[in-house]
Structure formats: structure tokens, C-alpha cells
Amino acid sequence: MTKKVKIAVIGASGYTGSDLVRLGARHPHIEIVYLTANSHAGKPMSGVFPHLAGLGLPDLIKNEEADWSKIDAVFCGLPHATSQAVIKELPGHLKVIDMSADFRLRDAQTYARTYGNEHIAPELQAEAVYGLSEHYRHAIRNSRLVACPGCYPTAVLMLLLPLVKSGLIDATDLIIDAKSGVTGAGRALKQNILFSETGEGLAPYAVGTHRHAPEIEQELSLAAGQELVVNFTPHLIPMSRGELITAYARLSGGKTAGDCKNALAERYADEPFVAMAPAGVIPSTQFVRGSNNVMLGVFEDRVPGRVVLISTLDNLIKGSAGQAIQNFNMMFGLDETCGLEQVALFP
């Protein structure tokens, strides 16, 4: 492709929106035409994010100021409960990559129960494709609206889907311990993410009620062919970005941790962004920070018949903006790695 795809980023003043802009600005097939952020309209992007100065970016505008006829694709980085109303009004020629939670849950009633408000665009939900890149390629390539998974579900599903599908683990007995950097809570001012509240500490939150649990259960249930409920507990860790999942599972009869490791290695052998941890190495957030990569690890538990499974990714990239661009690449027939070749930052 020689012609650049003209895009807009709605909600460009958030963390996911700004990371999308950072990656998109150097993507060889993207031309950023509009950046919207109603609360910052009229400001240069560098006035909100100084690290993006010098990239020739357009100033921020309000959504209604954009001429959508000049755009080929839209990335939406708005919070949940706001994307549906905005995307519903976009013209039908646009391809839409939504990074919010508004189209991730396939059932509108499940969405209403989970997020506390009615789904106002059920007609769009019917055409939305769940954007877990490595598992829904065919559907993503042929879609108009892609709902990018949440960061926790991406890390969990990349780890567990192949094992559940192959019957190597008991899908009815899953314990998922999740930890994320504070950018996962967004950029709005909240007491629990103030430095004095978060720094030098570690705290669980939304215990038993986190909104990503139904999303995880939705996809694992499809893989297992039965309704599943998982034990999922997230924690906030005092760093800006990064995510690590430790899952505990019961092995199916006669199966071993080695079987699980081999299954994951085989499933992702040709995936450019997924790697098994080398022998003797435990996955760490430092090994994927700043990249679109996922690192997986499998370890035999000291409890007989159980296995410890680990997954790590950058919550803002593979967990959001990077996966969004990966899906964009598929939707426009580009190489999946285009614009996502960054090597992880270490240390």
C-alpha cells in the first residue's frame, strides 16, 4: 500500500489515545488528520503531552468539528459508556477501532449489568468483532467495527484460551491474580491513584466485582463450550505501565505442566508478538515494557495436579493502543507488525 490511510483519534487526551498517537505518528501507512478531545479543544497536542512535540500533529478539536468524509478510519479512546453514543453517529464508510469497553461484551444485557447503563447501540453490537488479534484474525480482517479487548482480558486470554480449548486444564477451576500499573485507571484525577496513595504500596481493588471478569468469562466460555465463572482479583502496583497475570489451574487427568508449555509454544510459534519465556526465566513486566509483546511462562506447582501460568504485557500497548494498531493493520491488509516493531525498553 502506497496511499496513506487517513485517521482520526477520538479521545486523544487520555493515556491510550496518546499512546495511539505516539505509535501512529511513525506508522508508514497512517496520516493523522484529526485529534479530538472536547475538554482540551483548541490546544496543540504538545500542550497536553509535551513528549509529542515536533511530530507535526493537528491541534485538538471537538468531535463535532471533524469532517468525517475526509477520514478512512477512527480510533476511539473514550471511557466506557461514552463510545457507543459517539460511534453510533459516525458515517458507515468509516472503519472503527474502539479501545473502550462499550462493544466488547457480545450480549447487551450482560453489558448493562456489568457497566450499569443500557447499551444504546445494539444494532452495532451485532456487527462488532472482538479484537483479540491472534485469535480472531479472519473476523477482524473483514470487519468494520472492532472492539479491542481490555488489558487484563488480553493478558489472561492469550495465556488461557489455548489451554482451555485443548482441554489441558480444568476450566471450572481457575484462579487469576492480576496486577497492573496505575495508567490502567486512566488519566482523570482519582484519590486512589495519587502518588501518596499508591506509591510504596500494593493494593487489590474491585475484589469480586471487576468489570473485566465477564469479558474473560465470555471468551473462555466460548472456548470451553460451557458457561464458566473465574476467580479474578486485580491489584494496583506503583508503576506507570505494565501488567502481570499469575493464574493457577488444575491440570486435566494425566496432563502435565510440560504439556501446557508445549501447547502454548505450538499455538504461538508463528506469532510475531508472543513468546514463551526462555528456560529458567520467569516473565517480568520489564521484558515487554514499551512493546507490543506478550511473554508467557508455565511452571509446575508444588501442589500435585496443579500448574502456575504467567503472562505479562504492556497494558497501554498490547493491552490497548498497540493491539488497536495491530487490528488496524489487519483491517487494511497491512503486515500486522507495521508500526509496532519497537523492542521492549530494558531496564
111 and 25 belong to one structural domain: yes
94 and 169 belong to one structural domain: no
Among 148, 151, 260, 338, the one annotated catalytic: 151
66 and 163 belong to one structural domain: no
How many domains is the chain partitioned into structurally? 2
**Residue 220: domain span:** 152-315
- With respect to residue 165, please indicate whether it lies within any of the assigned structural domains: yes
Q: What cell was used for 197?
A: 496513595
Residues 134-148: pLDDT tens digits? 999 999 999 999 999
- With respect to residue 21, please indicate whether it lies within any of the assigned structural domains: yes
Mean pLDDT of the chain: 95
**pLDDT surpasses 80 at 223:** yes
252 and 310 belong to one structural domain: yes
Phi, psi dihedral angles at 259 (to 5 degrees)? -65, -40
- CATH code for position 201: 3.30.360.10
Residues 52-83: pLDDT tens digits? 999 999 999 999 999 999 999 999 999 888 99
- CATH code for position 80: 3.40.50.720
86 and 217 belong to one structural domain: no
Q: What is the rounded distance in angstroms from the CA atom of residue 137 to the CA atom of residue 330?
A: 7
Q: Cα–Cα–Cα angle for 184, 118, 161, nearest 5°?
A: 50
Q: What is the rounded distance in angstroms from the CA atom of residue 41 to the CA atom of residue 44?
A: 8
- With respect to residue 331, please indicate whether it lies within any of the assigned structural domains: no
170 and 291 belong to one structural domain: yes
What's the pLDDT at 315?
A: 97
- With respect to residue 268, please indicate whether it lies within any of the assigned structural domains: yes
Nearest to 170 by CA among 216, 228, 209: 228
| Cβ neighbour number for residue 171 with a 10 Å cutoff | 22
171 and 88 belong to one structural domain: no
- With respect to residue 156, please indicate whether it lies within any of the assigned structural domains: yes
Q: Catalytic residue at 76?
A: no
Mean pLDDT of 141-166: 98
93 and 166 belong to one structural domain: no
31 and 88 belong to one structural domain: yes
| Cβ neighbour number for residue 120 with a 10 Å cutoff | 14
81 and 213 belong to one structural domain: no
